[in-house]
């Protein structure tokens, strides 16, 4: 079977234990956990039994090896992860507001993952790649954007498809080149996986229907809008259907969107219908929020089927 691949940041995440906890004062923290949106995505693809690989850079430190060992354990091909001797692995500290919103302190731009560049993208590693996934959160430097463009060119050149989750963090929009890169990636996107608020950043139409039409006009073939605890909605030209979220206790929302996207894309690659793929993705997001830690809620088809049988 041909591979699904992605590229971008691998981090550890260290999280506050209480809602309302601030990082301006000492407090109890939990972690390090394996993390980074592309890493969570590819872990979920592998958990579904699909061949999966990630192009990334980590430092030669415990944070880097924690991630590599974890991804390997779940079946991800880590052969395209470079371990850089002179860099440290990225990190993110997360706090949760009382209303459920999250704030992040990222150490990404000075970490190993920021050293990712076109030289790390080689055609040989991408030879078996039938589908490439782009996380908008990975587009934080010119070098990375160039690397992403190179990977997309190779995969599209060999007849592959591309999915794109804008995954915009307000902390990152300050980086000017990121905004431009979002527009560029959109041109090559087959499956778009935005959150509700991201639709208005990608299209000029003020309403959902208009925004979706505009994006189809740019060549996007399928759009799945993630609505958190309100569920999700699928769009293809002339087609729209929504699903309510599966009621679960939300322990940690981080990673839900990444697991959701990975499951949708994998199911579509496996030839499942949009309807069935959305059901599996919805279940995958629900299982992700039920576990503390960004990558701790990834799941296989057995767990997804068990949850869907109950709901
Ligand atoms: P992020 O802000 O982390 O980027 P996202 O917008 O990419 O998140 P979400 O919308 O938070 O992703 O979650 C993706 C999907 O996971 C939702 O569309 C839904 O199917 C499922 N999901 C999310 N939160 C919950 C919840 N509290 N209960 C059940 N399912 C959920
Ligand atoms: Mg997201």
Contact present, 231 and 281 (Cβ < 8 Å): no
The reply to whether 282 falls in a domain is: yes
* In the predicted structure, residue 1 carries a pLDDT above the cut 60: no
309 located within any domain: no
pLDDT in tens, 98-126: 988 889 999 998 999 999 999 999 899 99
Q: Which of 167, 172, 285 to mutate to test the pocket of ligand 1 (most atoms within 8 A of CB)?
A: 285
Nearest one of 158, 150, 155, 86 to 120, comparing CA atoms? 150
Give the number of domains in the chain.
1
Tell which wins on pLDDT, 175 or 95. 95
pLDDT in tens, 35-74: 999 999 999 999 999 999 999 999 999 999 999 999 999 9
Asked if the structure places residue 92 within a domain, the reply is yes
Contacts of 247 by beta carbon, 8 Å cutoff, 6+ apart? 311
Residue nearest to atom 7 of ligand 1 (CA): 257
pLDDT at 176 over 90: no
Cα 201 to chain centroid distance, Å, stands at 18
Residue 147 has phi, psi (to 5 degrees) of -65, -40
Residues contacting ligand 1 via CB (< 6 Å)? 167, 195, 226-229, 231-232, 245-246, 248, 250, 253-254, 256-257, 260, 282, 285-286, 289
ipTM of the complex: 0.97
Q: Is residue 304 part of a domain?
A: no
The residue written with tokens 């990082």 in the block is 23
Q: How far is the CA of 282 from the centre of ligand 1 (A)?
A: 8
Strand, coil or helix: 34: strand
Asked whether residue 142 carries a pLDDT value surpassing 90, the answer given is no
Residue 293: exposure state from Cβ atoms within 10 A (0-12, 13-18, ≥19): buried
Q: What tokens does 5 get?
A: 């691949």
Overall size of the chain counted in residues: 311
pLDDT at 174 exceeding the cut of 90 = no
Distance CA 261, CA 255 (A): 10
**Average pLDDT of the residues in 272-281:** 98
Which domain does 86 fall in, by range?
Answer: 3-297
User: Domain for residue 91, yes or no?
Assistant: yes
Q: CB count, 10 Å around CB of 195?
A: 16
146 part of a folded domain: yes
CATH number at residue 52: 3.40.1190.20
Exposure of 255 in the CB half-sphere (CA atoms within 13 A): 32
Highest mean pLDDT (candidates 170-179, 203-212, 255-264): 255-264
CB-side neighbour CA atoms (13 Å) of 239: 11
**Side-chain half-sphere of 39: how many Cα atoms within 13 Å?**
31
Confidence of residue 178 (pLDDT cuts 50, 70, 90): confident
- The residue whose CB lies within 8 Å of the most ligand 1 atoms, and thus the one to mutate among 257, 262, 284, 299, is 257
Q: 140 or 146, which is more confident?
A: 146
DSSP 298: -
- Strands 3-7 and 81-84, sheet pairing: unpaired
Can you tell me the mean pLDDT for 2-19?
96
| % of residues, the chain, pLDDT over 90 | 86
Would you state the pLDDT for residue 270?
A: 97
Crossing angle of helices 274-289 and 301-310, in 10° steps, is 90
Q: Which residues place a Cβ less than 5 A from the ion ligand 2?
A: 167, 257
Structural domain contains residue 44:
yes
pLDDT for position 62: 98
Whether 167 is in a domain gets the answer yes
């Amino acid at each position: 079977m041909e591979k699904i691949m992605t590229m971008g940041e691998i981090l550890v995440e260290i999280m506050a234990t209480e809602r309302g906890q601030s990082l301006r004062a000492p407090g109890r923290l939990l972690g390090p956990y394996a993390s980074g949106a592309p890493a969570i995505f590819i872990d979920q693809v592998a958990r579904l039994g699909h061949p999966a690989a990630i192009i990334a850079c980590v430092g030669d430190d415990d944070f880097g090896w924690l991630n590599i060992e974890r991804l390997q354990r779940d079946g991800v091909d880590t052969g395209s992860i470079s371990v850089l001797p002179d860099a440290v692995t990225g990190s993110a500290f997360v706090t949760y507001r009382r209303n459920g919103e999250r704030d992040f302190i990222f150490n990404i731009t000075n970490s190993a993952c920021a050293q990712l560049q076109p030289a790390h993208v080689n055609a040989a590693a991408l030879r078996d790649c039938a589908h490439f996934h782009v996380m908008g959160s990975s587009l934080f430097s010119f070098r990375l954007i160039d690397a992403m463009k190179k990977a997309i060119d190779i995969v599209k050149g060999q007849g592959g498809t591309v999915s794109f989750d804008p995954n915009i963090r307000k902390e990152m929009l300050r980086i000017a080149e990121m905004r431009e890169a979002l527009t560029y990636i959109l041109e090559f996107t087959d499956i778009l996986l935005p959150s509700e608020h991201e639709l208005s950043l990608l299209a000029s139409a003020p309403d959902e229907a208009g925004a979706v039409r505009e994006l189809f006009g740019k060549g996007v073939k399928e759009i799945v809008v993630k609505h958190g605890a309100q569920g999700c909605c699928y769009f293809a030209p002339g087609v729209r259907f929504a699903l309510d979220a599966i009621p679960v206790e939300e322990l940690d929302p981080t990673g839900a969107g990444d697991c959701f996207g990975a499951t949708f894309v994998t199911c579509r690659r496996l030839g499942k219908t949009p309807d069935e793929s959305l059901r599996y993705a919805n279940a995958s997001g629900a299982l992700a929020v039920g576990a503390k830690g960004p990558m701790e809620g990834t799941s296989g088809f057995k767990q997804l089927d068990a949850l869907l049988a109950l709901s």
